[in-house]
Amino acid sequence: MGDLLLHNLGSVVTAAGGPRRGAALARPSVAAGADALLARDGLIVVIGARADVERQCGRNVVALDCGGRLATPGLVDCHTHLIYAGDRADEFEQRLGGASYLEILAAGGGILATVAKTRAADEEDLLATARARAEVMARDGVTTAEVKSGYALTTDGEVRMLRVARRLNAAGPVEIIPTFMGAHALPPEYASRRAAFVKLVCDEMIPAVAREGWAVFADCFCDRGAFDLAETRAVLNAARAAGFGLRLHADEFEPLGGVELAVELGAASVDHLAVITDDGVRALASSRTAAVLLPGTTVFLGSTHFAPARRLVEAGAVVALASDHNPGSCHAASLGVILTPAASFLKLRPIEVIHAVTVNAAYALGAADRLGSLEPGKQADVALFDAGDVNELFYDWGARPAWATVKRGAVIHGPAAPSPGRAS
């Protein structure tokens, strides 16, 4: 891989300086005087004035005139359920008629409806549909996405989902960070045998996935209608013993102590948090566990009970945002449609939202050392928007896909890469 020179940049939001807590989430991170970025072999070499940057270019360089457009780090979607079969469009109308998420789940819909379709799906079809969704993500400036299993709920099925995730990572266009989530819901064949299913997850699924060797994290849904605190502790302890990093769905419908458990076990993140308690906020504020908020899910479910983003920020927690793309409770194509609700409903400033979907989202995936900011030595992942500043991304709600998206120094969405040669 050779050099890529991005020149004639407008505002450059670097998100440099590591994950942001508290008031630092709003700290400006615009590179003054920078209008060029040089990438080599997939990494950022330098950001600065074009004349200075060009002096470091190699003999063969691909130059892309960015036309004064806004540059940000490639967006990081740190909570998705990208691999599944079928849809649950019928549930949207059911909810409009008054049915709740938990009522639909109890009637055999929700996650269980997707489980049935995913179990029956061909692996090639799962890959093809997931790749189409990843391409939508790339068009919105996303360069990295966490992807969970959890729609098979059998050992072979969960391994198969993670195999699809591995193949998706190889196929592109975005980088995939895989999470095992066998404890997503109680499958119908175990409806009266909860303990047996938890044992299956701990004693069979987790070792099988560990042997497969590719999942980075393990996740568990700790909430009413899913798994209780003791069951969650068993799953996460087994996963940690097998070498997985930990993530946790918690406090979406009822606070069961999942936040405090995530902090106790040193989880990378705890996600949802719509009904987090004051104790949970304090626990996160004094921990290294990221709070991943999913406002798109609240909107999609027709709720008005959003995670208390400002309380979390002011307490000093590391706050990240994600799409929660899934077939039932948030069928949002990508992060682009999440930005404005995150500002309007969570009361986060535009620059806070950008930091939450870049450097803080990378932190929530344990990858802030290489992703989430524009700094020399980091991966050359860049999103370019036809905007003068970040405020315009929020003002034109859902109407500003990325003009170009760069992953590891290669254009994965946008204008065709120019022929090699010096910038003119």
Ordered by start, the domain boundaries in the chain are 3-73+375-413, 76-364
pLDDT for the residue numbered 132:
96
> What per-residue confidence (pLDDT) applies to 423?
40
From residue 150, alpha-carbon distances to 83, 260, 364, 391 in Å are: 9, 23, 20, 36
Residue 399 has a pLDDT of 65
Q: Is the predicted pLDDT of residue 221 greater than 80, yes or no?
A: yes
pLDDT of residue 420 exceeding 50, the answer is no
pLDDT exceeds 90 at position 38: yes
CA distance 118 to 138: 24
Q: Is residue 345 pLDDT above 90, yes or no?
A: yes
CATH assignment of 3-73+375-413, given 2.30.40.10, 2.40.100.10, 2.60.120.620, 3.40.50.620?
A: 2.30.40.10
CA-CA distance, 338 to 394, in Å (whole number)? 9
Q: Which two tokens stand for residue 59?
A: 């003999």
**What's the whole-model pTM score?**
0.95
Q: Are strands 245-250 and 217-222 parallel, antiparallel or unpaired?
A: parallel
Residues 201, 202, 206, 208, Cα dihedral to 10°: -80
Give the pLDDT band (50/70/90) at residue 359: very high
Average pLDDT, the chain: 94
Mean pLDDT computed over 14-42: 95
Give yes or no for a cis peptide into 173 (omega within 30° of 0). yes
8 A C-beta contact, residue 422 and residue 53 = no
Report pLDDT digits (tens) over 117-151. Answer: 999 999 999 999 999 999 999 999 999 999 999 99
Domain 76-364: give its CATH code.
Answer: 3.20.20.140
Per-residue pLDDT reduced to its tens digit, 289-329: 999 999 999 999 999 999 999 999 999 999 999 999 999 99
Q: Tell me, what's the pLDDT at 58?
A: 86
